[in-house]
Amino acid sequence: MKRSDTLTQSNAVKKAVRKYDKTNITGLYIKLHKTKDKDIIDKLATVKSKQGYIKQCIREDLKNGKKNLDACCGSKMFWFDKNNPNVIFADNREFNTTLSDGRTLIIQPDEKIDFRNMPYADNSFKLVVFDPPHLIHAGEKSWLRSKYGILPEDWPTYINQGFKECMRVLEPYGVLIFKWNEEQIKLSEILANIDFKPLFGDKRSKTHWLCFMKFDENLN
């Protein structure tokens, strides 16, 4: 897609998004790229998939200038700025609910994606945050499942695939920050089932923060 085809934040775009979006892109921001409304309408009239075109344009816009990715942001609990303009916040869930204690839980990512198969080119980001679900047991309607998500039965493969994909989208010598809670699965079990070794991190607490880097051996 040429840069001149990128959508602008105009009334025409807003109408097009409202009309053709049936999934998760309505809340995304579209930055200005000096494209006339008529050009947008003409393009939408010719493409095979209007919804697909809009998603592609917004995805390109989100990536423009953003070099940091949170691959499974959840409710963005540890972010100081939950709307940081330099970060793409991604998750495979999107909802707004009230927990049993009355608190509101909002999971509203910029992009709804699977961290095992992300729609970004190789070497796209300088920093990737990876905070996947850490539970394998939680009640079907429990607040724990709502807040943190749940791992599949084959969690070793699931987590390793996530690591590989995070490394793929990292720039060479980019940094991966991994967060893990040992409530049900020990950190040692995670490290034994992934293809990468951390540089350093917290070894003593129940919640661990580890730092990885994409070195030459990770580039293939």
* H or E element, residue 91: strand 87-91
Predicted local distance difference test score (pLDDT) of residue 134: 85
What value does the mean pLDDT take over residues 156-176?
Answer: 95
Residue 145 one-letter amino acid: R
The SS3 assignment for 161 reads helix
Where do the H-state alpha helices sit in the chain? 11-20, 37-46, 50-63, 143-148, 155-169, 187-192
Q: How confident is the model at residue 205 (pLDDT cuts 50, 70, 90)?
A: confident
What is the per-residue pLDDT across 102-120, written as a single tens digit (0 to 9) for each? 778 888 898 899 999 998 8
The SS3 assignment for 128 reads strand
Does the predicted TM-score (pTM) go above 0.85?
no
The SS3 assignment for 122 reads coil
Residue 187 one-letter amino acid: L
Give yes or no for residue 42 having a pLDDT over 60.
Answer: yes
Predicted local distance difference test score (pLDDT) of residue 144: 66
What is the per-residue pLDDT across 121-153, written as a single tens digit (0 to 9) for each? 899 899 999 999 987 766 677 666 667 768 888
Collect all residues with Cβ–Cβ distance below 8 Å to 134 and sequence separation of at least 6.
148, 151, 180, 181, 182, 183, 184, 185
Residue 60 one-letter amino acid: E
Give yes or no for residue 39 having a pLDDT over 80.
Answer: no
Predicted local distance difference test score (pLDDT) of residue 8: 41
The SS3 assignment for 4 reads helix
- Assigned CATH topology for domain 68-218: Rossmann fold (3.40.50)
Name the average pLDDT for the chain: 78
Q: Where in the chain is the domain with CATH 3.40.50.150?
A: 68-218
Distance separating alpha carbons of residues 77 and 94, to the nearest angstrom: 15
Predicted local distance difference test score (pLDDT) of residue 26: 37
Comparison of pLDDT for 217 and 32, the residue scoring more:
217
Instruction: Evaluate whether 215 touches 173 at the Cβ level (below 8 Å).
Output: yes
Give the CA angle between residues 108, 111, 113 to the nearest 5°.
110
Predicted local distance difference test score (pLDDT) of residue 172: 94
Q: Could you tell me the sign of the dihedral formed by the alpha carbons of 76, 78, 84, 88, in that order?
A: negative
What value does the mean pLDDT take over residues 170-177?
Answer: 95
Nearest to 67 by CA among 91, 54, 84: 84
